[in-house]
Amino acid sequence: MKNKLTKNWGLKVVSFLFAASVWLIVTNINDPLAPLRLSDVPVTIRNKELITERGQTCEVLDNTDVIDLVTIYAPRSVIDSLDKGNVVAIADLKDLTSVDTVPIKLSTNKYNEKVENIKGNIDSVKLNIENKQTRSFPLRVNVTGEIREGYMLGDVGTEQNLIRISGPESIVSQISRAQAEVDISSFTGNINTETDIRLYDSEENAIESASLEKSITRVRVNVEILEKKVLPVNYVIGGTPAEGYRLTGETQCSKSNVTIAGKSSLIQNINAIDIPEGVIDVTGAEADVITLVDLNEYLPEGTVLAEEGFTGKINITVYVGQEIRRTFLVPKERIHITGVPAGFEAEILEDEESQSSITLIGLASELQEIDTASLEVDLDIAAWMEREEREEAESGYFHIPLSLQLPADSAVVWDAPEVFVRISEKE
Protein backbone atom coordinates (compact mmCIF):
# COMPACT_ATOMS: atom_id res chain seq x y z
CA MET A 1 0.00 0.00 0.00
CA LYS A 2 2.80 2.35 0.95
CA ASN A 3 4.54 1.65 -2.26
CA LYS A 4 1.47 2.58 -4.23
CA LEU A 5 1.22 6.00 -2.52
CA THR A 6 4.86 6.90 -3.03
CA LYS A 7 5.27 5.36 -6.40
CA ASN A 8 5.64 7.94 -9.23
CA TRP A 9 5.38 10.86 -6.80
CA GLY A 10 6.91 13.30 -9.25
CA LEU A 11 4.23 12.56 -11.77
CA LYS A 12 1.60 13.08 -9.16
CA VAL A 13 2.97 16.58 -8.24
CA VAL A 14 3.01 17.58 -11.86
CA SER A 15 -0.56 16.40 -12.20
CA PHE A 16 -1.62 18.46 -9.18
CA LEU A 17 0.00 21.65 -10.47
CA PHE A 18 -1.55 21.12 -13.85
CA ALA A 19 -4.97 20.72 -12.29
CA ALA A 20 -4.54 23.90 -10.24
CA SER A 21 -3.46 25.84 -13.30
CA VAL A 22 -6.45 24.58 -15.22
CA TRP A 23 -8.71 25.69 -12.32
CA LEU A 24 -7.17 29.18 -12.25
CA ILE A 25 -7.51 29.52 -16.01
CA VAL A 26 -11.13 28.45 -15.87
CA THR A 27 -11.80 30.78 -12.94
CA ASN A 28 -10.16 33.80 -14.62
CA ILE A 29 -12.08 33.15 -17.73
CA ASN A 30 -15.38 32.98 -15.89
CA ASP A 31 -14.68 35.75 -13.18
CA PRO A 32 -11.66 37.80 -14.25
CA LEU A 33 -9.97 40.58 -12.20
CA ALA A 34 -11.29 44.06 -12.96
CA PRO A 35 -10.53 47.59 -11.72
CA LEU A 36 -13.04 49.88 -9.97
CA ARG A 37 -12.18 53.58 -9.89
CA LEU A 38 -13.89 55.79 -7.32
CA SER A 39 -13.49 59.56 -6.86
CA ASP A 40 -13.67 61.88 -3.84
CA VAL A 41 -13.38 59.26 -1.14
CA PRO A 42 -13.43 60.88 2.34
CA VAL A 43 -10.79 59.98 4.92
CA THR A 44 -11.80 59.46 8.54
CA ILE A 45 -9.28 60.93 10.95
CA ARG A 46 -9.18 59.08 14.27
CA ASN A 47 -7.89 59.97 17.72
CA LYS A 48 -7.95 63.77 17.27
CA GLU A 49 -7.96 64.03 21.04
CA LEU A 50 -4.25 63.17 20.98
CA ILE A 51 -3.78 66.69 19.56
CA THR A 52 -6.47 68.61 21.44
CA GLU A 53 -5.49 67.19 24.84
CA ARG A 54 -2.15 68.92 24.59
CA GLY A 55 -3.70 72.30 23.80
CA GLN A 56 -3.18 72.19 20.06
CA THR A 57 -5.28 72.12 16.92
CA CYS A 58 -4.82 70.31 13.67
CA GLU A 59 -5.91 71.57 10.28
CA VAL A 60 -5.95 69.43 7.15
CA LEU A 61 -3.85 70.90 4.38
CA ASP A 62 -4.49 70.76 0.63
CA ASN A 63 -7.78 68.84 1.10
CA THR A 64 -5.79 65.70 1.75
CA ASP A 65 -8.64 64.29 3.85
CA VAL A 66 -10.36 63.50 0.54
CA ILE A 67 -8.77 61.05 -1.89
CA ASP A 68 -9.35 62.21 -5.44
CA LEU A 69 -9.07 58.70 -6.91
CA VAL A 70 -9.19 55.22 -5.34
CA THR A 71 -8.63 52.16 -7.55
CA ILE A 72 -9.77 48.69 -6.46
CA TYR A 73 -8.69 45.47 -8.20
CA ALA A 74 -10.93 42.46 -7.53
CA PRO A 75 -12.88 39.77 -9.41
CA ARG A 76 -15.63 41.12 -11.58
CA SER A 77 -18.29 39.57 -9.33
CA VAL A 78 -16.89 41.54 -6.37
CA ILE A 79 -16.36 44.78 -8.27
CA ASP A 80 -19.98 44.79 -9.40
CA SER A 81 -21.18 44.86 -5.79
CA LEU A 82 -18.87 47.67 -4.50
CA ASP A 83 -19.29 51.46 -4.53
CA LYS A 84 -17.74 54.47 -2.77
CA GLY A 85 -19.71 53.72 0.37
CA ASN A 86 -17.81 50.45 0.76
CA VAL A 87 -14.39 52.07 0.84
CA VAL A 88 -12.91 52.60 4.30
CA ALA A 89 -10.12 55.22 4.45
CA ILE A 90 -8.59 55.70 7.90
CA ALA A 91 -5.88 58.12 9.07
CA ASP A 92 -5.04 57.42 12.70
CA LEU A 93 -3.22 60.16 14.58
CA LYS A 94 -1.45 57.45 16.55
CA ASP A 95 0.59 57.09 13.36
CA LEU A 96 1.50 60.79 13.12
CA THR A 97 4.93 61.29 11.57
CA SER A 98 7.57 63.84 12.46
CA VAL A 99 6.61 65.92 9.41
CA ASP A 100 2.94 66.09 10.52
CA THR A 101 1.56 63.58 8.05
CA VAL A 102 -0.64 60.58 8.79
CA PRO A 103 -0.60 57.49 6.51
CA ILE A 104 -3.95 56.51 5.01
CA LYS A 105 -5.02 52.88 5.34
CA LEU A 106 -7.48 51.67 2.71
CA SER A 107 -9.83 48.69 2.87
CA THR A 108 -13.41 47.76 2.08
CA ASN A 109 -16.19 46.94 4.49
CA LYS A 110 -17.22 43.86 2.49
CA TYR A 111 -15.39 41.29 0.39
CA ASN A 112 -12.14 42.73 1.69
CA GLU A 113 -10.51 39.28 1.58
CA LYS A 114 -11.34 39.02 -2.13
CA VAL A 115 -9.86 42.40 -3.03
CA GLU A 116 -6.59 41.88 -4.88
CA ASN A 117 -5.36 45.45 -4.44
CA ILE A 118 -6.65 48.87 -3.34
CA LYS A 119 -4.74 52.13 -3.62
CA GLY A 120 -5.33 55.89 -3.79
CA ASN A 121 -3.63 58.68 -5.65
CA ILE A 122 -2.46 60.02 -2.24
CA ASP A 123 -1.27 57.93 0.66
CA SER A 124 -1.24 60.35 3.60
CA VAL A 125 -3.11 63.24 5.19
CA LYS A 126 -1.10 66.44 5.61
CA LEU A 127 -1.73 68.40 8.79
CA ASN A 128 -0.92 71.81 10.15
CA ILE A 129 -0.55 71.45 13.90
CA GLU A 130 -0.25 74.52 16.10
CA ASN A 131 -1.22 75.90 19.46
CA LYS A 132 -4.91 76.47 20.12
CA GLN A 133 -6.10 79.97 21.03
CA THR A 134 -9.45 81.09 22.45
CA ARG A 135 -10.68 84.68 22.35
CA SER A 136 -13.97 86.46 23.06
CA PHE A 137 -15.37 89.28 20.91
CA PRO A 138 -18.30 91.64 21.39
CA LEU A 139 -20.97 91.13 18.76
CA ARG A 140 -21.65 94.11 16.56
CA VAL A 141 -24.41 94.74 14.05
CA ASN A 142 -23.67 96.15 10.59
CA VAL A 143 -26.78 97.69 9.05
CA THR A 144 -26.78 97.82 5.24
CA GLY A 145 -29.18 99.28 2.69
CA GLU A 146 -30.95 102.64 2.46
CA ILE A 147 -33.72 103.38 4.92
CA ARG A 148 -36.89 104.86 3.43
CA GLU A 149 -37.30 108.63 3.42
CA GLY A 150 -39.07 109.88 6.51
CA TYR A 151 -37.68 107.13 8.73
CA MET A 152 -34.53 106.60 10.77
CA LEU A 153 -32.74 103.90 12.72
CA GLY A 154 -33.45 103.56 16.40
CA ASP A 155 -31.81 101.08 18.76
CA VAL A 156 -29.93 98.18 17.16
CA GLY A 157 -28.90 95.20 19.26
CA THR A 158 -28.45 91.46 19.50
CA GLU A 159 -29.95 88.95 21.92
CA GLN A 160 -26.41 87.78 22.70
CA ASN A 161 -23.60 90.29 22.85
CA LEU A 162 -20.51 88.06 23.06
CA ILE A 163 -19.01 85.27 20.97
CA ARG A 164 -16.16 82.95 21.95
CA ILE A 165 -13.91 81.65 19.17
CA SER A 166 -11.30 78.88 19.39
CA GLY A 167 -8.93 77.60 16.78
CA PRO A 168 -5.40 77.74 15.41
CA GLU A 169 -3.47 80.61 16.90
CA SER A 170 -2.42 81.86 13.46
CA ILE A 171 -6.06 82.33 12.44
CA VAL A 172 -7.65 83.45 15.71
CA SER A 173 -4.99 86.12 16.19
CA GLN A 174 -6.05 87.74 12.90
CA ILE A 175 -9.67 88.26 13.96
CA SER A 176 -10.48 91.90 14.59
CA ARG A 177 -14.25 91.84 15.01
CA ALA A 178 -17.34 89.66 14.87
CA GLN A 179 -20.52 91.09 13.41
CA ALA A 180 -24.01 90.27 12.21
CA GLU A 181 -25.33 91.97 9.09
CA VAL A 182 -28.90 93.15 8.45
CA ASP A 183 -30.33 94.75 5.30
CA ILE A 184 -32.95 97.39 6.19
CA SER A 185 -33.93 98.38 2.64
CA SER A 186 -37.67 99.17 2.26
CA PHE A 187 -38.53 98.45 5.91
CA THR A 188 -40.79 100.90 7.78
CA GLY A 189 -41.26 98.83 10.93
CA ASN A 190 -39.05 97.06 13.44
CA ILE A 191 -36.95 94.13 12.25
CA ASN A 192 -36.44 90.95 14.28
CA THR A 193 -34.40 88.38 12.44
CA GLU A 194 -31.72 85.71 12.85
CA THR A 195 -28.52 86.10 10.87
CA ASP A 196 -25.08 84.52 10.47
CA ILE A 197 -22.08 85.84 12.38
CA ARG A 198 -19.17 86.90 10.19
CA LEU A 199 -15.54 87.42 11.20
CA TYR A 200 -13.20 90.11 9.81
CA ASP A 201 -9.58 91.10 10.21
CA SER A 202 -8.31 94.65 10.72
CA GLU A 203 -8.26 95.26 6.96
CA GLU A 204 -11.93 94.32 6.50
CA ASN A 205 -11.12 90.95 4.97
CA ALA A 206 -13.53 88.15 5.80
CA ILE A 207 -12.06 85.26 7.79
CA GLU A 208 -13.50 81.83 7.09
CA SER A 209 -12.00 78.57 8.28
CA ALA A 210 -13.48 75.18 9.06
CA SER A 211 -10.93 74.82 11.88
CA LEU A 212 -12.55 77.61 13.92
CA GLU A 213 -14.97 76.72 16.68
CA LYS A 214 -17.62 79.33 17.54
CA SER A 215 -19.73 79.39 20.67
CA ILE A 216 -22.60 80.52 18.40
CA THR A 217 -22.86 80.70 14.63
CA ARG A 218 -26.11 82.68 14.31
CA VAL A 219 -27.67 85.41 16.43
CA ARG A 220 -31.06 87.14 16.63
CA VAL A 221 -30.87 90.84 15.78
CA ASN A 222 -33.41 93.52 16.70
CA VAL A 223 -33.47 96.72 14.63
CA GLU A 224 -35.78 99.57 15.61
CA ILE A 225 -37.06 101.72 12.75
CA LEU A 226 -38.66 105.03 13.73
CA GLU A 227 -40.81 107.48 11.80
CA LYS A 228 -39.69 111.13 11.74
CA LYS A 229 -41.83 114.23 12.32
CA VAL A 230 -41.08 117.97 12.41
CA LEU A 231 -42.52 119.74 15.46
CA PRO A 232 -42.59 123.37 16.63
CA VAL A 233 -41.05 124.32 19.97
CA ASN A 234 -43.56 125.99 22.29
CA TYR A 235 -42.62 127.82 25.49
CA VAL A 236 -44.15 130.06 28.15
CA ILE A 237 -42.44 133.14 29.61
CA GLY A 238 -42.87 133.53 33.34
CA GLY A 239 -42.07 136.27 35.86
CA THR A 240 -41.96 140.07 35.78
CA PRO A 241 -38.91 142.21 34.95
CA ALA A 242 -37.50 144.72 37.43
CA GLU A 243 -39.36 147.96 38.06
CA GLY A 244 -38.90 150.32 35.15
CA TYR A 245 -38.37 147.42 32.74
CA ARG A 246 -40.71 145.24 30.75
CA LEU A 247 -40.87 142.72 27.95
CA THR A 248 -40.56 144.12 24.46
CA GLY A 249 -42.85 141.39 23.13
CA GLU A 250 -40.04 139.93 21.02
CA THR A 251 -38.44 136.55 21.61
CA GLN A 252 -35.98 134.52 19.60
CA CYS A 253 -35.46 130.76 19.60
CA SER A 254 -32.26 129.42 18.04
CA LYS A 255 -34.25 126.49 16.67
CA SER A 256 -37.98 126.91 16.40
CA ASN A 257 -38.69 123.57 14.67
CA VAL A 258 -37.18 120.23 15.62
CA THR A 259 -37.33 116.81 13.98
CA ILE A 260 -38.11 113.91 16.30
CA ALA A 261 -38.64 110.21 15.67
CA GLY A 262 -40.65 107.46 17.29
CA LYS A 263 -43.08 104.67 16.58
CA SER A 264 -45.59 105.71 13.95
CA SER A 265 -48.52 104.97 16.25
CA LEU A 266 -47.01 107.29 18.88
CA ILE A 267 -45.86 110.37 17.02
CA GLN A 268 -49.02 110.80 14.95
CA ASN A 269 -50.66 112.26 18.08
CA ILE A 270 -47.77 114.59 19.00
CA ASN A 271 -48.00 118.14 17.64
CA ALA A 272 -45.36 120.15 19.52
CA ILE A 273 -42.50 120.06 21.99
CA ASP A 274 -43.78 121.99 24.99
CA ILE A 275 -41.36 123.65 27.41
CA PRO A 276 -43.27 124.07 30.67
CA GLU A 277 -43.82 127.31 32.52
CA GLY A 278 -41.05 128.19 34.91
CA VAL A 279 -38.18 127.17 32.65
CA ILE A 280 -37.96 130.63 31.07
CA ASP A 281 -38.17 133.17 33.91
CA VAL A 282 -37.59 136.92 33.57
CA THR A 283 -38.22 137.83 37.23
CA GLY A 284 -36.27 140.96 38.14
CA ALA A 285 -34.61 141.18 34.72
CA GLU A 286 -32.99 144.47 33.69
CA ALA A 287 -31.63 143.13 30.40
CA ASP A 288 -32.40 140.52 27.79
CA VAL A 289 -32.77 137.03 29.28
CA ILE A 290 -31.08 134.13 27.43
CA THR A 291 -32.06 130.66 28.61
CA LEU A 292 -30.23 127.48 27.54
CA VAL A 293 -32.79 124.69 27.19
CA ASP A 294 -32.06 120.99 26.69
CA LEU A 295 -34.96 119.67 24.64
CA ASN A 296 -34.08 116.09 25.59
CA GLU A 297 -35.71 116.79 28.94
CA TYR A 298 -39.03 117.69 27.32
CA LEU A 299 -39.30 115.17 24.48
CA PRO A 300 -42.53 113.17 24.57
CA GLU A 301 -41.94 109.73 26.05
CA GLY A 302 -40.86 107.18 23.48
CA THR A 303 -39.35 109.71 21.07
CA VAL A 304 -35.80 110.79 20.22
CA LEU A 305 -34.19 113.67 18.37
CA ALA A 306 -33.72 112.83 14.70
CA GLU A 307 -31.34 115.46 13.32
CA GLU A 308 -27.74 114.50 12.72
CA GLY A 309 -25.35 116.61 14.79
CA PHE A 310 -28.10 118.26 16.87
CA THR A 311 -27.66 117.59 20.60
CA GLY A 312 -31.00 119.07 21.63
CA LYS A 313 -29.67 122.24 23.24
CA ILE A 314 -31.23 125.53 22.12
CA ASN A 315 -31.12 129.17 23.26
CA ILE A 316 -34.31 131.11 23.86
CA THR A 317 -33.87 134.88 24.15
CA VAL A 318 -36.52 137.08 25.76
CA TYR A 319 -35.95 140.76 25.03
CA VAL A 320 -36.34 143.16 27.98
CA GLY A 321 -36.38 146.93 27.54
CA GLN A 322 -36.14 149.84 29.92
CA GLU A 323 -39.15 152.11 30.14
CA ILE A 324 -38.57 155.80 29.36
CA ARG A 325 -40.74 158.87 29.81
CA ARG A 326 -41.70 161.43 27.21
CA THR A 327 -43.56 164.58 28.24
CA PHE A 328 -45.48 166.87 25.95
CA LEU A 329 -47.73 169.89 26.47
CA VAL A 330 -51.37 170.05 25.41
CA PRO A 331 -53.02 173.44 24.93
CA LYS A 332 -56.48 173.80 26.37
CA GLU A 333 -58.06 174.08 22.92
CA ARG A 334 -56.88 170.52 22.06
CA ILE A 335 -58.80 169.03 24.93
CA HIS A 336 -62.13 167.55 23.91
CA ILE A 337 -64.81 167.70 26.61
CA THR A 338 -67.13 164.69 26.27
CA GLY A 339 -69.74 162.84 28.30
CA VAL A 340 -71.37 165.98 29.72
CA PRO A 341 -74.71 165.03 31.35
CA ALA A 342 -77.86 166.32 29.66
CA GLY A 343 -78.84 169.79 30.82
CA PHE A 344 -75.37 170.57 32.01
CA GLU A 345 -72.34 172.21 30.57
CA ALA A 346 -68.65 172.06 31.51
CA GLU A 347 -65.60 174.23 31.00
CA ILE A 348 -61.94 174.08 31.95
CA LEU A 349 -61.06 176.89 34.35
CA GLU A 350 -57.58 177.63 33.02
CA ASP A 351 -56.14 180.64 31.32
CA GLU A 352 -56.38 180.72 27.58
CA GLU A 353 -52.68 180.14 27.23
CA SER A 354 -52.35 177.48 29.87
CA GLN A 355 -51.18 174.02 28.86
CA SER A 356 -51.45 170.63 30.44
CA SER A 357 -48.34 168.44 30.77
CA ILE A 358 -48.86 164.75 29.80
CA THR A 359 -46.18 162.09 30.26
CA LEU A 360 -46.03 158.92 28.10
CA ILE A 361 -44.29 155.89 29.58
CA GLY A 362 -43.01 153.04 27.38
CA LEU A 363 -40.12 151.55 25.48
CA ALA A 364 -38.13 153.80 23.19
CA SER A 365 -39.28 151.87 20.14
CA GLU A 366 -42.92 152.26 21.19
CA LEU A 367 -42.67 155.97 21.89
CA GLN A 368 -41.05 156.57 18.52
CA GLU A 369 -44.21 155.34 16.83
CA ILE A 370 -46.44 157.88 18.57
CA ASP A 371 -47.07 161.33 17.06
CA THR A 372 -47.98 163.43 20.08
CA ALA A 373 -49.26 166.23 17.87
CA SER A 374 -52.03 164.01 16.56
CA LEU A 375 -53.07 162.47 19.87
CA GLU A 376 -56.66 163.04 20.94
CA VAL A 377 -56.83 164.36 24.51
CA ASP A 378 -60.21 163.96 26.19
CA LEU A 379 -61.96 165.21 29.29
CA ASP A 380 -64.62 162.53 29.72
CA ILE A 381 -67.17 163.69 32.32
CA ALA A 382 -69.28 160.51 32.12
CA ALA A 383 -66.26 158.24 32.64
CA TRP A 384 -65.17 160.36 35.58
CA MET A 385 -68.67 160.17 37.17
CA GLU A 386 -68.67 156.39 36.78
CA ARG A 387 -65.30 156.06 38.48
CA GLU A 388 -66.45 158.35 41.26
CA GLU A 389 -69.77 156.47 41.52
CA ARG A 390 -71.71 159.66 40.97
CA GLU A 391 -75.18 158.75 39.80
CA GLU A 392 -76.53 162.29 39.48
CA ALA A 393 -74.86 165.29 37.94
CA GLU A 394 -74.49 168.38 40.04
CA SER A 395 -73.09 171.83 39.60
CA GLY A 396 -69.72 172.65 41.10
CA TYR A 397 -65.99 172.83 40.66
CA PHE A 398 -64.07 169.59 40.25
CA HIS A 399 -60.58 168.23 39.47
CA ILE A 400 -61.01 165.73 36.63
CA PRO A 401 -58.11 163.78 34.95
CA LEU A 402 -57.48 163.92 31.24
CA SER A 403 -57.38 160.79 29.06
CA LEU A 404 -55.65 159.87 25.78
CA GLN A 405 -56.80 157.98 22.76
CA LEU A 406 -53.76 155.78 21.98
CA PRO A 407 -53.65 153.08 19.26
CA ALA A 408 -55.47 149.94 20.40
CA ASP A 409 -52.34 147.78 20.17
CA SER A 410 -50.08 150.23 21.98
CA ALA A 411 -48.46 149.20 25.25
CA VAL A 412 -47.63 152.77 26.15
CA VAL A 413 -49.20 154.14 29.33
CA TRP A 414 -49.62 157.75 30.31
CA ASP A 415 -49.51 159.94 33.33
CA ALA A 416 -52.05 162.68 32.69
CA PRO A 417 -52.77 165.63 35.01
CA GLU A 418 -56.10 166.69 36.46
CA VAL A 419 -57.66 169.93 35.26
CA PHE A 420 -59.98 172.24 37.18
CA VAL A 421 -63.46 172.02 35.71
CA ARG A 422 -66.68 173.83 36.39
CA ILE A 423 -69.93 171.93 35.78
CA SER A 424 -73.13 173.91 35.75
CA GLU A 425 -76.73 173.63 34.67
CA LYS A 426 -77.64 175.26 31.43
CA GLU A 427 -79.77 178.33 31.76
**pLDDT tens-place string over residues 383-398:** 999 999 988 889 999 9
Can you give the pLDDT at residue 26? 47
Question: Between 12 and 164, whose confidence is greater?
Answer: 164
Can you give the pLDDT at residue 65? 94
CA geometry: angle 232, 235, 240, nearest 5 deg: 155
- Are 325 and 370 within 8 A, CB to CB? no
Rounded Cα distance between 421 and 346, Å, is: 7
pLDDT in tens, 56-66: 998 899 999 99
Average of per-residue pLDDT across 276-303: 94
pLDDT in tens, 282-294: 999 999 999 999 9
Can you give the pLDDT at residue 177? 93
Backbone angles phi, psi at 147, to 5 degrees: -75, 150
pLDDT in tens, 307-339: 989 999 999 999 999 988 888 888 888 889 999
- pTM (predicted TM-score): 0.56
Q: How far apart are the first and last CA of the chain?
A: 198
Can you give the pLDDT at residue 276? 94
Most confident of the ranges 7-21, 178-192, 347-361 = 178-192
How does residue 73 score in pLDDT terms, banded at 50, 70 and 90? very high
Q: What's the length of the chain? A: 427
- Positions of E strands within 270-395: 273-281, 289-294, 304-305, 313-322, 324-331, 335-338, 344-348, 355-362, 376-380
Residue of 168, 172, 160 lying closest to 207 (CA atoms): 172
Can you give the pLDDT at residue 114? 92
| Burial environment of residue 43 by CB neighbours within 10 A (0 to 12, 13 to 18, 19 or more) | buried
The mean of the pLDDT values for the chain is 88
pLDDT in tens, 252-270: 999 999 999 998 888 889 9
- Are 152 and 306 within 8 A, CB to CB? yes
Q: Cβ atoms within 10 A of the Cβ of 197, count?
A: 21
